[in-house]
Amino acid sequence: MHATRKLWTWLAVICVFSFAALLWVGREIYLEAPPIPLQVSSTEGTVLFTKDNVQFGQQAWLAAGGQQLGTVWGHGSYLAPDWSADWLHREALALQELVSLRDHGRKYAELEIGDKARVDVTIKNELRANTYDAVTGTLTLSTTRAEAVRRTAAHFNDLFGDAASLDALREQYAMTPNSLPKASDRKSLTAFFFWTSWAASTDRPGQSNLSYTSNWPHEPLVGNTPTAGAGMWSIASVILMIAAIAGMIFFHSIHKEEGDPTPPKNDPLFELKPTASMKATRKYFFVVAGLILAQVGMGIITAHYSVEGTSFFGFPLADILPFVVSRTIHTQFAVLWIATAWLATGLYIAPAISGHEPKYQALGVNVLFYALLFIVVGSTAFGWIGTLQKQGVDFAFWVGNQGLEFTSMGRVWQILLFVGLLFWVTLLGRGLWPALKKPSESRGLIAMVFLAALCIGGFYATSLAWGRTTHYSMVEYWRWWLVHLWVEGFFEVFATAVIALLFTRLGLIRASSANSAIVLETIVFLFGGILGTLHHLYFTGTPTSVIAIGSMFSALEVVPLSIIGIEAYRNYQRSKAAPWVQTYKWPILCFIAVGFWNTVGAGLLGFTINTPIALYYMQGMNMTAAHGHAALFGVYGMLGIGLMLFCLRGLSDRLAWSDKALRPMFWLLNLGLAMMVFMSLVPAGIYQAWASITRGVWFARSPEVVHSTFMETMVWLRVPGDIVFSVGVMFLIVFMWRLVFQNRPARKLAAAALAAAK
């Protein structure tokens, strides 16, 4: 007990100092973020853009699809271009032609090598020179550059409008005509794109060859190449990771874990009778199955759009389901079904652990279910309608699609979901309170479950931290608080503690060992995970210190994964500990799969892109998608399915349960995911990385690469994996269907057997 108290103290200290450091970095980002000029004007005094244009342009871009349609500073979807890189390249080419005509009277292609070199130096110097006056708030451009900006803006104005000359390009970008119908919105959009490009290429005040985005994106025309810091901190992070892994293995070797106890002769949960609130969680899991099915369907459509653009095997599907909507649903439902499975698990185990059913608990569980269902349906429907009808920025921000990846639902729905999560924490706390008050070996585990739940509910407040005019650097800062810390942090702590509690109740692990192990594991994970959040923010207009801190601490995130195979093997041994444990075979195998995908998806593929030098070239490419799919479904998805099956085992009649559908479900899901990642996404990501390294980010994201024969072949190679994965999902649906319709006959049979026995 004394050792466990010391671990809790260390956990508290690490959390306090880590979050203090993360908040300090946030303050530095706020102070050093790229300035938004009050006006952008030419040396002749012509005003091109104003601050209001830039800020409204950010809103207009998000309303038109935002991070679901291309990226800005590397964050978003991978089909359309990175708009910052695309603008920068187009403006550089336009300036190249204008300078060539001005200085040499000929087109750039007609110049001699020496003259071309002089033009190249001229445009590089002009684009890198920081002409922003902080006193007047004015950014002044030369007459020639102002003309290049006008020409570049005309392209984007036509692209987001309905110019027939760009129909083919829109098709390649999976864009629908008139993404922004209003001319004023399109003008502001071009101001925002210009500003993100300017911040990416101009030197910071007092610096040379260092832009506000640390020279991202890679663009040889303007001298955007990796900084020395990106290379040095990448090397340092790899060295730290290797040393920390060695230390972890050494620590594990000299601290032998206490062996598992002798399992009970019979299932300790066999006689557990579900309470009314536990039974009320059953419908949550059927909604989980429906959300999985919808998410997979939208994923197939979204992937296909990268070949046909706005059609699905010739059918003009984008007229009713554009790429922006299908991708929004695909990414949003991934988080929602996983979260729903975990929330329902918490509500199920609370009375089971405490042995107490609070008054009106079942009513609360039912109210929460319909409230969450209302939020899911409402946010999806209004986001879809708003996109189709192009309702504008006010509608998009408040009730439609905010355009931010994984946090796309409108602000009203975010507020309602925040309230719902706080209500869930209250229900969970009511259920666990008797167990928290009563001294027991498991109390530490129960406390960890509740604290993690409290963080899940409380930290969703970060989705409310940004407003409509918040600086884009700060939007990204707070968004990753939610996506990284909420989804990848506290949910994982919650799920790990829940699994340990379940194994403890089954008598497969010792409560005393689990108490210390969970706190220690949480310490190791959060020590790297909290400040590891910053690896998402290397190139989003942040100080160079973000690269140093983010790279070193994100390297530590890989450390606990180095021995995760040991835990997976021990779980496999536990699945064979006693004949009755076979009842929980498939939930336990799901937990073992989590260990595999943690190592491969989160560890191997994650660290592949986490170092600054790697992410410099691969940010916004398909290697990120490979990591995302393997980690999100492989780790969190399989964990959600395992928890769901565990709960359904206790909520279903034994005679109604059948493993026949679970075997193919498990193997097909894992095989299909592996095929999808390694046959399609990883090769596509490597090819794009080559394109980015050799010619620039603009080229890696251009139609020339994205719609090349190789890349489209990679998309088609997703089909076998998608089919295998989808069949696995269908086996899960069949299993759930049988559970519903075989439950009633099973109850009658059990009742008849009981009557005969009497």
Task: State pLDDT tens for residues 80-98.
Answer: 999 999 999 999 999 999 9
Q: For residue 507, which phi and psi values (nearest 5 degrees)? A: 75, 20
For 582-636, the DSSP string reads GGGHHHHHHHHHHHHHIIIIIIIHHHHHHSHHHHHHHTTSHHHHHHHHHHIIIII
Q: Where are the beta strands (DSSP E) in 473-570?
A: none
3-state secondary structure 236-284: HHHHHHHHHHHHHHHHHHHCCCCCCCCCCCCCCCCCCCCCHHHHHCHHH
User: Whole-model pTM above 0.75?
Assistant: yes
**Mean pLDDT within 39-65:** 97
- The residue assigned the tokens 């649906």 is 733
* Average pLDDT in the chain: 92
Whole-number pLDDT of residue 640:
93
pLDDT digits (tens, 9 = 90+) for 107-166: 999 999 999 999 999 999 999 999 999 999 999 999 999 999 999 999 999 999 999 999
As a whole number of angstroms, the distance between CA 361 and CA 697 comes to 54
pLDDT value at position 1?
45
DSSP sequence for 310-376:
S-BTTB-GGGTS-HHHHHHHHHHHHHHHHHHHHHHHHHHHHHHHH----TTHHHHHHHHHHHHHHHH
Asked whether 98 and 144 are in contact (CB, 8 A), the reply is yes
Helix (H/G/I), strand (E/B), else coil: 578: coil
Residue 341 has pLDDT above 80, yes or no: yes
End-to-end CA distance of the chain: 49
CA-CA distance, 169 to 658, in Å (whole number)? 51
The average pLDDT across 726-753 equals 75
At 389-405, the pLDDT tens digits run 999 999 999 999 999 99
Written as one letter, the residue type at 17 is F
pLDDT tens digits, residue range 460-480?
A: 999 999 999 999 999 999 999
Rounded Cα gap, residues 734 and 64, in angstroms: 38
Residue of 535, 314, 307, 280 whose CA lies nearest to 431 = 280
Residue 750, pLDDT > 70, answer no
Q: Are strands 138-141 and 39-42 parallel, antiparallel or unpaired?
A: parallel
Domain definitions of the chain by residue range:
33-225, 578-741
Give CA 306 to chain center in angstroms: 20
Tokens encoding 254: 């000299």
Amino acid 489: pLDDT: 78
170 or 569, higher pLDDT: 170
Which pLDDT score is estimated for 748? Answer: 56
Instruction: In whole angstroms, give the CA distance from residue 418 to residue 562.
Output: 35
pLDDT band at 754 (very low <50, low <70, confident <90, very high): very low
Tens of pLDDT, residue by residue over 720-735, are 999 999 999 999 999 9
pLDDT digits (tens, 9 = 90+) for 256-297: 767 778 888 888 888 889 999 999 999 999 999 999 999 999
Amino acid at position 438, single letter:
K
